[in-house]
Structure 1
Amino acid sequence: MLKKLIFVLLLLIASAAGWGFFQVKSTLDKPVLIEQQTFITVKTGTSFRRLLTQLSDDKIMALSPWLRWVGYLEPTLTDIKAGTYVIKPQATLQSVLTMITEGKEYQYAITLVDGERFSEWRELLQADPHLKHTSDGMTQTQISTAIGIDNDKVEGYFLPNTYHFTAGTSDISILKRAHVAMMKELDLAWQQRAKDSPLKTPYQALIMASIIEKETAVASERGLVASVFMNRLRANMPLQTDPTVIYGMGDKYHGNITKKDLRTPTAYNTYTMRGLPPTPIAMPSKAAIMAAVDPDNSDFYYFVADGKGGHKFSTTLVEHNRAVRAYLKILRKQK
């Protein structure tokens, strides 16, 4: 009789446990209540019970007494990790808890565009609400030191790209990644440089790449633009490139360059000096860097806009002046 009672008792316990397990699994398999993706930030030190309350308060899920048993049946789902997560409609509570316990935080993105200056990038970083703005108030020299750049000027040292990050990542961290990526790309490109290149250092290649980046947005022209500047360097001719003049003018530039501007010396005015400016004038792309180290072979020394989105390349000054007149004629017709 006793054995029979024990058997019945064990059977009841097993049945209750099975029923309980079924109820917990059913609760975990229920879809969330939201109809559009929702962000949730889990603070450091949040317990499993506190997380459930937070999800309930945010109308993401309904509390259930069966959830108190999750820790016994699936203990890994209670190892909560802080962060910002995105919960999508039709996700199950199981998938939500798995995401949070595995620390799969939402990846924000910021695109640092090629051809822009560091000052423009800095404004973009400062405006991003998901970044930690540790560089606010820092000078370029301080930023350079924090990143590990052996130069007081950081212009050109970062690779344009889209960088993904989690909420609370520092802006300095993004810049470090962009710097490491640029140095890797520059080193690789320098190893592939043309043997007769007049550029003496990778940094000179970076400076040249930034000029090429600003001079043309037409991919097929980069090599030719680079060849013009290389030919001028070899001939000890001034580069005479407007983007360097604009960069040297700083806040004095308001959309137009005058003849006076071209004649006014600055550290970057390549009309009044020979050789390269002292630093890059923008953030160059991979393609511009490759054009700088391995330009096309040409006998061109001049180029001017052709009025169709590209440029007209010339070997002699006479040809160039003719191309300039043609361009000015197009501009007059457009007015």
Structure 2
Amino acid sequence: MTLIPYLKKLSNHPLIVKRKFFLLLLLVVFSTMTYPFTPMHVTESNATLEINSGSNLNQITSQLVEMNILKDSFRFKVLAFVTGNQTKLKKGYYKIPDSITPLGLLSILVDGKEMLFPITLVEGSTFKQIVELIDNNANIKKTIVGFDEQKILQLMGAEEPYVEGLFFPDTYYFYKNTTDLEILTNAYKVMKSKMQFLWENRTEDLPYESPYEAIIVASIIEKELGVEYEAPEIAGVFVNRLRANMRLQSDPTVIYGMQESFKGNIRKRDLRADTSHNTYTRKGIPPSPISLPSLISLEAALNPATTGYFYFVAKGNRMHHFSKTLKEHNRAVNTYQRRK
């Protein structure tokens, strides 16, 4: 008998066939056992998956195959069935990490660990700028477009008379299709929470009748502020002037009152032109904030520095010169402003 026919005959021997089957079975079992823990090496960086409401396992795995996240759908389906999660995958918008394992992917989809998107409300921003920021964000669902401010206040459950300045400036994270109203309401609630604590721990005998008035003054401080450490001193000036029944005489309030007519420079006639927010023509606290005040400005408004200062002027380096008398202030203005 030659060698080749002998080997063919030997390969068909029942014992050899059984061994082949056993080895094949062992390979399948080993592959199945290691599959859940083997990184998939997603080819597309920052791949995202959107699962719509009502999608079933077949539809979801087909999406994953089309996106080259899965090489085949069979083993992932088996994994879902074996773990009892075949009907537990949740709708949502998911980020797929580059080296995620099948079990890790299944866990994300079952737990509903959706991708979060950031939005930053910057201190000093106006409500108009916030609306533009939200409108330009494609991941936010628009539900209050065209609503007036009073309607928005009502929907937020706010008791304040104006929407300006009511949102705490910070970076907020949200799920895709979160509504504009939900974003605003969340930022409003954060501001309320911050203000409750600050109001309860404020300096005594401040010239504010409510937390809202403190927010208004803080918003003016925010627009005057160049360097953070000056916030308590600027607040001290405004508090001193309010106590003395003096006008606040803050340029940013004039600019806010001018709205679209402000072209970059304040003229003397602008200071004399009366608006609801012009603190050169009107005494007391304006009717609304003029911007989003930062935590630093809020803290300063409620815990101002105790000084004898009633005036300040910008020095041109983001800092201010503070004065106790008008005579001293006029000299500072000549030094830092009129020399330009």
Question: TM over 0.5: same fold?
Answer: yes
Alignment of 1:241-320 (within 5 A): 241-320=250-329
The code of the aligned residue for 1:129 comes to: A
Which stretches in structure 2 are left out of the alignment for 5+ residues? 1-20
Q: In 1, distance between residues paired with 2:26 and 2:327? A: 93
- Single out whichever of 76-85 and 45-54 deviates more from structure 2: 76-85
Q: Quote the residue 1:173 is aligned against.
A: 182
Q: In 2, distance between residues paired with 1:119 and 1:33? A: 41
Q: In 2, distance between residues paired with 1:75 and 1:192? A: 53
Tell me if structure 1 keeps the 8 A contact 2:61–2:73: no
Tell me if structure 1 keeps the 8 A contact 2:62–2:73: no
Q: Does 1:40 align with 2:49?
A: yes
Q: In 2, distance between residues paired with 1:273 and 1:93? A: 67
The code of the aligned residue for 2:319 comes to: G
Return the offset for 1:162: 0.4
CA, structure 1 residues 323+77, in 2 after alignment: closer, same or farther (shift >3 Å)? Answer: farther
Query: 1:202-253: per-residue Cα shift (whole Å, max 9, x none)?
Result: 1111111111111113111000001111111111111000111111111111
Q: Quote the residue 1:9 is aligned against.
A: none
Tell me if structure 2 keeps the 8 A contact 1:39–1:85: yes
Q: Quote the residue 1:231 is aligned against.
A: 240
CA, structure 1 residues 64+117, in 2 after alignment: closer, same or farther (shift >3 Å)? Answer: closer
Q: Quote the residue 1:215 is aligned against.
A: 224
Aligned length: 320
Q: In 1, distance between residues paired with 2:325 and 2:131? A: 41
Which stretches in structure 1 are left out of the alignment for 5+ residues? 1-12
Residue 24 (structure 1) aligned to one of 32, 53, 69: 32
Return the offset for 1:69: 2.3
Q: In 2, distance between residues paired with 1:172 and 1:219? A: 31
CA, structure 1 residues 258+54, in 2 after alignment: closer, same or farther (shift >3 Å)? Answer: same
Tell me if structure 2 keeps the 8 A contact 1:303–1:314: yes
Q: In 2, distance between residues paired with 1:110 and 1:300? A: 38
CA root-mean-square deviation: 2.0
Q: Quote the residue 1:131 is aligned against.
A: 140
Q: In 2, distance between residues paired with 1:198 and 1:243? A: 20
Q: Does 1:80 align with 2:89?
A: yes
Q: In 1, distance between residues paired with 2:320 and 2:280? A: 20
CA, structure 1 residues 301+93, in 2 after alignment: closer, same or farther (shift >3 Å)? Answer: same
Tell me if structure 2 keeps the 8 A contact 1:24–1:67: no
- Single out whichever of 77-86 and 201-210 deviates more from structure 2: 77-86
Give 4+ residue runs of structure 1 displaced > 2 Å after superposition: 13-30, 64-72, 328-331
- Single out whichever of 161-170 and 66-75 deviates more from structure 2: 66-75
The code of the aligned residue for 1:151 comes to: E
The code of the aligned residue for 1:296 comes to: A
Partner secondary structure for residue 55 of structure 1: helix
Normalized against structure 1, the TM-score is what? 0.90
Query: 1:44-93: per-residue Cα shift (whole Å, max 9, x none)?
Result: 11111211110011122211533442244212365110111111212122
Tell me if structure 2 keeps the 8 A contact 1:24–1:69: no
Partner secondary structure for residue 141 of structure 2: coil
Q: In 1, distance between residues paired with 2:164 and 2:292? A: 7
Partner secondary structure for residue 76 of structure 1: coil
The code of the aligned residue for 2:216 comes to: I
Q: In 2, distance between residues paired with 1:280 and 1:192? A: 21
Q: In 1, distance between residues paired with 2:172 and 2:86? A: 30
Q: In 1, distance between residues paired with 2:89 and 2:22? A: 30
Tell me if structure 1 keeps the 8 A contact 2:42–2:97: no
The code of the aligned residue for 2:335 comes to: A
The code of the aligned residue for 1:149 comes to: A
Tell me if structure 2 keeps the 8 A contact 1:34–1:60: yes
Return the offset for 1:319: 0.7
Tell me if structure 2 keeps the 8 A contact 1:115–1:214: yes
The code of the aligned residue for 1:26 comes to: T
Q: Quote the residue 2:69 is aligned against.
A: 60
Q: In 2, distance between residues paired with 1:182 and 1:103? A: 29
CA, structure 1 residues 54+264, in 2 after alignment: closer, same or farther (shift >3 Å)? Answer: same
Partner secondary structure for residue 40 of structure 1: strand
Query: 1:74-121: per-residue Cα shift (whole Å, max 9, x none)?
Result: 123651101111112121222111111110001100000011111101
Residue 198 (structure 1) aligned to one of 207, 212, 230: 207
